[in-house]
Structure 1
Amino acid sequence: MNQESQAKNVAILIYDRVEPLDFVGPFEVFITGSNRGKDLNVYTVAEHNRPVIALGQLSINPSYTIANCPQPDILIIPGGWGARTEMHNVVITDWIKEAFHRVEIVLSVCTGALIIAMTDLLDGLKLTTNRLAINELRAILPSAEILEEARYVDNGKIVLSAGVSAGMDASLYVIERLFGEERALSTARIMEYDWNRV
């Protein structure tokens, strides 16, 4: 059996003023839980082929653009102050909507929920986001059931997490869903991370 051909593609969207831990935390979880790259192929993707300037002036070179990235099986949408801009970027929201029909899981981290909320993909779901952005999310989806105390919420195809480090907890949860509890616990042990499973 060719394991390499079965590796799932994990695309992590990055954009200007993204919160570093929102994407680096899940990146670390998925590469650590990838069985040395045999089960998961993790990469960053951005709208443009240029360095992305995250919060704190961290410069990141995306692996791909949305025009040339491998088809994702798992799509991660991180948050940060830049989410308030990208939520109005129809190029990004249209790309997410188009990708949604072919992916297995979409994982929102922190205020990444604001971006996904603009795609109409969250209607009728249980939601969470960064505690400081609850009212912003409620303004977009006033009738949504928002679980303010949840670290992460599983809606099947869409998993949403609360702020920053909660994205690592949700990522470990996705690893558990894909590969079982022992893989997730082993990933957390290797990272020396105290997995909050609430």
Structure 2
Amino acid sequence: MSGRYSSSRECFRRGYCIYGEEKRIARLVVSYCDRGPRHGVWRIFTRTGLVHADIGGRRRSRPHRTDRSFQCSAESAEAIATDRVAFCPVIKPDTANRSSCLGDRDESHRRVSIVLFDGFELLDVFGPVGLLGMLSQAFSVELVGPASGLVRSSQGAEVVATVGYRDAKRPDIVLVPGGRGTRSLVNDAGFLEWLAAWASEARLVTSVCTGAAVLAAAGLLDGFRATTNKRAYGWATSHGSSVEWVAQARWVEDRSRWTSSGVAAGIDMTAALVAHLFGPETAAVAAAAAELEIHTDPHWDPFAAANGLF
């Protein structure tokens, strides 16, 4: 892809091609797309956040700023037309990689391994999963449980783990949720030994809510700044030998460690993580697809004061 842009609302930028998975979402960014390439190239025009395709001289709406045009391959444009993919990042926008908007999956595709255990919090898991699911070409999710099969949540609903702890492959991004089950998990020596060894190889280690207590108990937060659920703050922060706990924070990013406050804060942290990895435009597209208004300020945290933490 090539071109230039200046509008803060437009959904295409150099190195990225972003669009929705469903037709309803796709129309927000793609107003027209045909299958017949012109000169082997699909030219995409942007105007006030909308995208208009000019294919073979046929236009549904005429863009008034043709200098903001981008090119991608017929393969990529067909994927937009048929809604086969939801997100198409190009991490290395050099000449060799412009032939396809799909880019290098080794660089652009991230795998998120979510650790399940008896008594995990459903929203801690499926808030992030729902948002990442809007970007299925950029992220895949695997659920790692004590063994493959059903794992019971704090709410009683059972979720299928796709792989057991001992069979889980080397992780890319790890997410540990909170929930009532963390109270016993922080004392499970066998689990903590496995988690410390397995997660230490990940590029990023993250937690939602009291999942931070589990990371701390495993020694994975020593030497890092972190936050956790504010109602359980006293208990959660009693774990770990050298964690710098932050009382007022929606989430905390410290190098390879990302930790969020309670429950729904995990969705805001996930949006920030998406922005960190793929740019704020990508996070905005995912949030719009989910009809979600996210908090983008990591310091926004009315719950710290509400729970008497300062």
Q: TM-score normalised to the size of structure 1? A: 0.91
CA distance in 2, matches of 1:185, 1:54: 30
CA distance in 2, matches of 1:69, 1:40: 17
| 2:257 counterpart of 1:158 | yes
CA distance in 2, matches of 1:181, 1:79: 27
The equivalent of 2:203 in structure 1 is 104
Structure 2 stretches of 5 or more lacking a match? 1-96, 98-102, 298-310
CA distance in 2, matches of 1:53, 1:66: 16
Mark the CA change 1:71 to 1:196 in structure 2 (over 3 Å): closer, same or farther: same
CA distance in 1, matches of 2:201, 2:243: 25
Deviations 1:107-158 (A, max 9, x none): 1100001111111121232221000111112322476432222010001101
The equivalent of 2:217 in structure 1 is 118
SS at match of 2:237: helix
Structure 1 stretches of 5 or more lacking a match? none
| 2:123 counterpart of 1:21 | yes
Cα pair 2:222 2:241 within 8 Å, conserved: no
Runs of 4+ in 1 over 4 A off after TM superposition: 1-6
CA distance in 1, matches of 2:177, 2:219: 17
* Residue pairs, 1:126-165, within 5 angstroms: 126-141=225-240, 144-165=243-264
Whose helix fraction is larger, Structure 1's or Structure 2's?
1
CA distance in 2, matches of 1:141, 1:61: 30
Mark the CA change 1:99 to 1:143 in structure 2 (over 3 Å): closer, same or farther: closer
Cα pair 1:44 1:62 within 8 Å, conserved: yes
Q: Which has the larger radius of gyration?
A: 2
SS at match of 1:41: strand
Mark the CA change 1:4 to 1:145 in structure 2 (over 3 Å): closer, same or farther: closer
SS at match of 1:132: coil
Cα pair 1:3 1:38 within 8 Å, conserved: no
Measured on the aligned residues, the alpha-carbon RMSD in Å equals: 1.8
Identity of aligned residues (%): 28
The equivalent of 2:155 in structure 1 is 56
CA distance in 1, matches of 2:178, 2:190: 17
Letter in 2 for 1:19: E
CA distance in 1, matches of 2:149, 2:253: 33
Q: Quote how far apart the aligned CAs of 1:181 are.
A: 0.7
CA distance in 2, matches of 1:142, 1:38: 39
Please, which of 82, 87, 98 is the counterpart of residue 181 of structure 2? 82
Deviations 1:169-195 (A, max 9, x none): 111111111111100111111111111
The equivalent of 1:10 in structure 2 is 112
Letter in 1 for 2:246: L
Cα pair 1:25 1:168 within 8 Å, conserved: yes
Mark the CA change 1:11 to 1:155 in structure 2 (over 3 Å): closer, same or farther: same
CA distance in 2, matches of 1:5, 1:126: 29
CA distance in 1, matches of 2:242, 2:203: 26
Please say which of residues 120-129 and 188-197 is displaced more in the overlay. Answer: 120-129
Mark the CA change 1:59 to 1:130 in structure 2 (over 3 Å): closer, same or farther: same
Letter in 2 for 1:98: A
Letter in 2 for 1:111: T
SS at match of 2:238: helix
Q: TM-score normalised to the size of structure 2? A: 0.59
Deviations 1:74-95 (A, max 9, x none): 0000000001111222333222
CA distance in 1, matches of 2:202, 2:242: 26
The equivalent of 1:32 in structure 2 is 134
